[in-house]
Amino acid sequence: MGVEIFFVISGYLISKSIFKELREKQSFSYSQFYGRRIRRIYPALIAMLLYSFYILCECSNSAQLKEASKSLIAACLMAVNIHMMHKEYVHDYSWNFVQILWTLGIEEQFYLFWPFFATQLWKLSMEKGLIIIGTAIFILY
């Protein structure tokens, strides 16, 4: 349940910042939005991945290192959830140290599409946009 709460709060805060920018500037900068996301997430992510990979190189065999390398690439691309889609979730993190990043993958993939969708809703006006959102949720649910 904690992950769902995180997604809701994160979505709310990002939506609030998108609509605030649209309200104040009457436009939205995708490059600034994604630049902020990259500057906020990637420094810590890369440091964690490099450190974890170093430890893994010291403590694992070649088969584990090969699988971990694939996971590392998926983590850098924010696609751990896709990488793990057909794998069994394993609680032994010693060989696959990026499993925990699946939530970050989902969040960042959502943010690839949400700003475009939100700006389109803004252009339609909030009243019409809410009708569209409600209809889409009803259809998808």
Which pair of structure tokens corresponds to residue 62?
Answer: 């070649």
| pTM of this structure | 0.71
Distance CA 83, CA 75 (A): 9
The answer to whether 132 and 122 have CB atoms below 8 angstroms apart is no
pLDDT value at residue 92? 55
Residue 77, helix vs strand vs coil:
coil
pLDDT digits (tens, 9 = 90+) for 20-49: 898 899 888 999 999 998 999 999 999 988
Instruction: Tell me the H-state helices in the chain.
Output: 2-25, 30-59, 62-76, 80-83, 102-124, 126-140
Q: How many CB atoms lie within 10 A of CB 10?
A: 14
Provide CB contacts within 8 A for 99, sequence distance 6+: 71, 80, 84, 89, 90, 93
Half-sphere CA count of 70, side-chain side, radius 13 A? 12
Task: Mark 69-90 as b/e (b = at least 16 C-beta within 10 Å).
Answer: eebbebbeebbbbebbeeeeee
User: What residue numbers bound the domain in which 33 lies?
Assistant: 2-140
Give the number of domains in the chain.
1
For the ranges 19-33, 46-60, 114-128, the lowest mean pLDDT is seen at: 114-128
pLDDT digits (tens, 9 = 90+) for 91-111: 555 556 777 888 888 888 888
